[in-house]
Amino acid sequence: MRILVTGSKGQLGRELIRVLAVDHEVGGTDLPELDIRDAAAVARLVGEMRPEVVIHAAALTDTRRCEEEPDLAHQVNAVGTGNVALACREAGAALAYVSTNEVFDGRKGEPYLESDEPNPVNAYGRSKLEGEKHVRSLLDRCWVVRTAWLYGEGDNNFPMKILAAAERGELSVVTDEIATPTWARDLAAAMASLVERPAYGVYHFTNSGECSRYEWAREALRLAGREDAPIRPTTMAEYQPFPPKPPYSVLRNEAGARLGIELRPWREALGERFAALREG
């Protein structure tokens, strides 16, 4: 297949290019070459490439910036996604849209199903939910893939930020924000398998299991050989995260499991990521 990946320079985008290139003709685009807010530019690129599938991984994922600049979040994550969906409709391409656990409010108290009603508590979640609605209203041939707590190569992710903070002194990490860390490489493999099938709909793809931010931080420090680093457990009420976060947003993978697409436990994936870091 001919596949176009937006956000190809990001943590997920790089892994998607890597895994898809084995069996498919893959092209990637990202800033500054393409701003998805520019509808004409998006339509021109998709029209020229004529992909059979577009995987839309481009997004404004800085949740703090989204909260401070909600109009920008809306323009990128909602309007920009609508532009990609419209271009796909014109070109006859199917679209896989990467969404987030933060479309939920975290009050359910048990893992969210694909059929559960979203109710975001921050600007990032609201903008991504708007993107979902654009995709599903404009296209019949689409997959909406929600994920959580994504990390990959580079330093701009939670495990690497924890290690950097450990060098500066004591850490305080919340014990009552719970979801599932997801390695971008595992998510990319799951999505590569999904887009080969016309099983359109909503999917929840994370590594399996669940943990708190505190447990995730402790495991990252252990794998890095920094178990001695001082880390203090705290709560969201004490820490008062900005923007507000859903307290329990674990995603249950039912739709993907029916297709045989399941991701391994989060500790195993994190261990492999740190093993790769040690090997250089």
Half-sphere exposure of 192 (CA within 13 A, CB side): 22
| List 97, 112, 124, 151, catalytic entry | 124
Q: Decide if 176 contacts 246 (C-beta within 8 A).
A: no
DSSP state, residue 199: -
Active site residue 97: no
Strand partners, 42: none
Using CA atoms, how far apart are residues 266 and 31, in angstroms rounded to an integer?
30
Q: How is residue 64 written in tokens?
A: 């703090």
Please name the residues in contact with 206: beta carbons below 8 A apart, sequence gap of 6 or more. Answer: 101, 147, 148, 149, 179, 180, 181, 182, 187, 250, 251, 253, 263, 266
Q: Which residues are part of the catalytic machinery?
A: 124
